[in-house]
Amino acid sequence: MLKINNLHANIEDKSILKGINLEVKPGEVHAIMGPNGSGKSTLASVIAGKEEYEVTEGNIVFEGEDIEELAAEERAHKGVFLSFQYPVEIPGVSVTNFMKTAINESRKAKGLEDMPAKDMLKLIREKSELLEIDRKFLSRSLNEGFSGGEKKRNEIFQMAMLEPKLAILDETDSGLDIDALRIVANGVNKLKSKDNAVVVITHYQRLLDHIVPDYVHVLYNGKIVKSGSKELAHELEEKGYDWIKEEVNA
Amino acid sequence: MDLKEKLVSSFLAFENSIDIDAYAHDVRSDAIKIFEEKGFPSKKEEAWKYTSLNSILKEDYSVFPKQENALEYPQVKKYFIHDIDTYKIIFIDGKYSSHLSQTTHDGIDVCLMSAALSKPKYQLIIENYFNKAAEKDSLSSLNTAFSSEGAYIHIPKNKIVEKPIQIIHFSTGNESATMLQPRNLIVVDENSHVQIIERHQSLTSNPVLTNSVTEVFANKRAIVDYYKIQNDNENASLIDHTFVKQSRESFASVHTFSFGGKLIRNNLNFYQNGERIDSTLKGITIIGEKQHVDHNTLVHHIEPNCESHQDYKGIFDDRSTGVFNGKVVVEKEAQKTNAFQANNNILISDKASINTKPQLEIFADDVKCSHGCTIGQLDESAMFYMRSRGIPEKEAKALLMFAFSNNVLESVKIPELKQRITKIIANKLGVNIGFDL
């Protein structure tokens, strides 16, 4: 589904990603861990198509197509979804209107008519129940004044609405208390199928108790320096990242 | 002959040609003297520092409509708010169109200035209100001197006018260049409510200059909501003067939606004569190309315990220019005044510009006055966020602009009007998304 080959990316001439290789197949869950500043969020943003980053080498292939030249919205239409570490507050746009616009724009891109209002409401009701989101919440301005937990739950609600093929969850566990973590993880697990894939980017192992990865990769200094099974996450939790850094620097 | 000379020399002929009472005649004769003395304002005057009239004054305007033109309703239906029942006072090239209008004398007067200025039964109102709120600046005086036609609205006390009143001025371009000087008088008595929608619309590309004066009197506990739609074509310019005089416990609001025109200047003055008055001044400006929109506001707090709320949003593209000059005066007696002013702007292009200037003159010591102006660009992180959800760049931009202007739209009390404004904005931004913000 996703194949990243020797990906190098810069921001303002500063090199952040220095040769990433990663392959994600349908039905898989991958975790990308690593110390602060290792390039985890950059990788997520580059896959989603943030324009500030410049891909200088390598490529990103999604469903057999090179996507690094595509605009963020075109990648979204193909089924790429990024759950933001810091969801942006957009005063004046309600959650419902935002989702309606997003869904109908995706449909338009696929040559489909707008979703009938009745179906839209039903979908919203269904998915908000999945994330235990209160109806009142949906008429509030997007992310404005939301607590950390509400923002993250809202991200996964959007994922549920858009049903992406590939979901990248960037530090979705940060700022969550244990109940919110459970709701969010539960939501992601219910959305999982053999046809879609999830990449979980996290600093800590705690989310991975709930969303169990098939593979764990350690990103350090812009490269994946170690890959393994879910046990690797436990090892990192226990021993921290210093031993990885020592291994790499040795 | 330049425009000033042309106007001054036309005055006598004009004065002889129309049927008016003696009081109005005196007011007009005084007004032409003021205009003759002051002339058109230039950029040397502080209030006109950022707005030059030079480019619009050079046209050879015809100052009186020579012939009457008919328009059929289907031709101009789209400029009306037509999905609700309204009173309509419609003018074509400055002349009243009975054909397109729907006026009334049934308990309220929704009719014409020309009637009010000439018929004895209106004499008392005219003597009490006509030219009593307008400033004596040169352009208002010019309008006063030539005031003969416009909307006359008198709502006696305890009347809630259910139907909004639409005032629309069409110009057909039958002269190579036309100058129009509509004059409106709106008197709303105790406990009465009225909603008014005003629009100026040129139907051809021939230049039009409109110098309009509206006086609004909101008497005790009256509620007056006034909406101005300024979405004219690129050769039409508008200088609008609106003077709102409020008595105690009244509520008056003016919303100004400036989306099109060559040059627009809005002089909007509120005078609070009484306690517990609420004044609201809001506007959305979305322009591009070489358009220019200037909002010049004044709120004069004279007595205690009153409020004013000003909220102006501007979005400027291409080489367009904007001005916001918001003056708030709080007199010594006006304790416990709560005056709020905000002017927020987004510059889409690096060639666009805005001059924004809050001006507070506060002589009382127990007041809450706040003001803030911002000039920014579209939030890039919000753009990426929306695009990553599949909303294309143009639509994402539009959604952000809607969101930015939303608190002004939100306070529009007529749902059909709100819908119409939303549609105009969507058209202007070239998007077709069913925003229902």
Q: How many residues does chain A have?
A: 250
| Sequence-distant (≥ 6) Cβ neighbours of residue A113 within 8 angstroms | A107
| pLDDT exceeds cutoff 90 at A204 | no
Give me the mean pLDDT over the A222-249 stretch: 90
Of the candidates B40, B288, B34, B287, which has an alpha carbon nearest to the alpha carbon of residue B179? Answer: B40
Cβ neighbours of A76 in B, within 8 Å:
387-390
Answer whether A84 sits within 8 Å of B400, measured CB to CB.
Answer: no
Answer whether A77 sits within 8 Å of B390, measured CB to CB.
Answer: yes
Answer whether B388 sits within 8 Å of A109, measured CB to CB.
Answer: no
**pLDDT tens-digit series, residues A91-108:** 888 999 999 999 999 999
Q: Which residue of A has its CA nearest to B405?
A: A92
Query: What confidence score (pLDDT) does residue B403 get?
Result: 87
Q: How many CB atoms lie within 10 A of CB B119?
A: 14
User: E-assigned strands of A12-96?
Assistant: 14-24, 29-33, 53-62, 65-66, 80-83, 90-94
Answer whether A73 sits within 8 Å of B387, measured CB to CB.
Answer: yes
| pLDDT exceeds cutoff 60 at B233 | yes
Cβ-nearest to A105 among B388, B390, B406: B390
Answer whether B437 sits within 8 Å of A90, measured CB to CB.
Answer: no
Strand-strand pairing, B236-247 and B151-155 = unpaired
Locate tokens 């995706």: which residue?
A: A106
Of the candidates B220, B224, B222, which has an alpha carbon nearest to the alpha carbon of residue B184? Answer: B224
The nearest CA of chain B is from the CA of A213 a distance in Å of 24
Query: What confidence score (pLDDT) does residue A174 get?
Result: 85
Chain-wide mean pLDDT for chain B?
Answer: 94
Cβ-nearest to B395 among A90, A97, A101: A101
| pLDDT exceeds cutoff 50 at B16 | yes
Three-state secondary-structure class, residue B9? helix
pLDDT class of A177 with cuts at 50, 70, 90? confident
Give me the mean pLDDT over the B313-339 stretch: 97
Percent of chain B with pLDDT over 70: 99
| pLDDT exceeds cutoff 60 at B67 | yes
| pLDDT exceeds cutoff 90 at B431 | no
**pLDDT tens-digit series, residues B340-370:** 999 999 999 999 999 999 999 999 999 999 9
A51 to chain B, any CB pair closer than 8 A? The answer is yes
Query: What confidence score (pLDDT) does residue B246 get?
Result: 98
Residue A222 to residue B128: CA distance in whole angstroms: 79
Give me the mean pLDDT over the A127-155 stretch: 91
Give me the mean pLDDT over the B69-80 stretch: 91
| pLDDT exceeds cutoff 80 at B437 | no
Q: Helix crossing, B3-17 with B22-38: angle to 10°?
A: 170
Cβ-nearest to B391 among A48, A50, A101: A101
| pLDDT exceeds cutoff 50 at B27 | yes
**pLDDT tens-digit series, residues A14-27:** 999 999 999 999 99
Give me the mean pLDDT over the A184-193 stretch: 93
CB B159 within 8 A of CB B192: yes
Give me the mean pLDDT over the A216-222 stretch: 95
Q: Which residue of B has its CA nearest to A78?
A: B390
Lookup: tokens for B119: 């018929």
The nearest CA of chain A is from the CA of B387 a distance in Å of 5
Answer whether B436 sits within 8 Å of A71, measured CB to CB.
Answer: no
pLDDT class of B80 with cuts at 50, 70, 90? very high
**pLDDT tens-digit series, residues B150-195:** 999 999 999 999 999 999 999 998 888 999 999 999 999 999 999 9
Chain-wide mean pLDDT for chain A?
Answer: 93
| pLDDT exceeds cutoff 50 at B229 | yes
Query: What confidence score (pLDDT) does residue A85 get?
Result: 94
**pLDDT tens-digit series, residues B257-276:** 999 999 999 999 999 999 99
Give me the mean pLDDT over the B91-111 stretch: 95
Answer whether B390 sits within 8 Å of A94, measured CB to CB.
Answer: no
Q: How many residues does chain B have?
A: 437
Cβ neighbours of B384 in A, within 8 Å:
50-51, 72, 88
A93 to chain B, any CB pair closer than 8 A? The answer is yes
| pLDDT exceeds cutoff 50 at B126 | yes
pTM for the whole thing?
Answer: 0.87
Q: How many CB atoms lie within 10 A of CB B159?
A: 17
DSSP symbol at A114: P
ipTM for the assembly: 0.95
Q: Which residue of B has its CA nearest to A47?
A: B388
CB B385 within 8 A of CB A73: no
| Sequence-distant (≥ 6) Cβ neighbours of residue B427 within 8 angstroms | none
| pLDDT exceeds cutoff 60 at B434 | no
Query: What confidence score (pLDDT) does residue B18 get?
Result: 77
Query: What confidence score (pLDDT) does residue B433 get?
Result: 58
Answer whether A109 sits within 8 Å of B379, measured CB to CB.
Answer: no
Percent of chain B with pLDDT over 90: 86
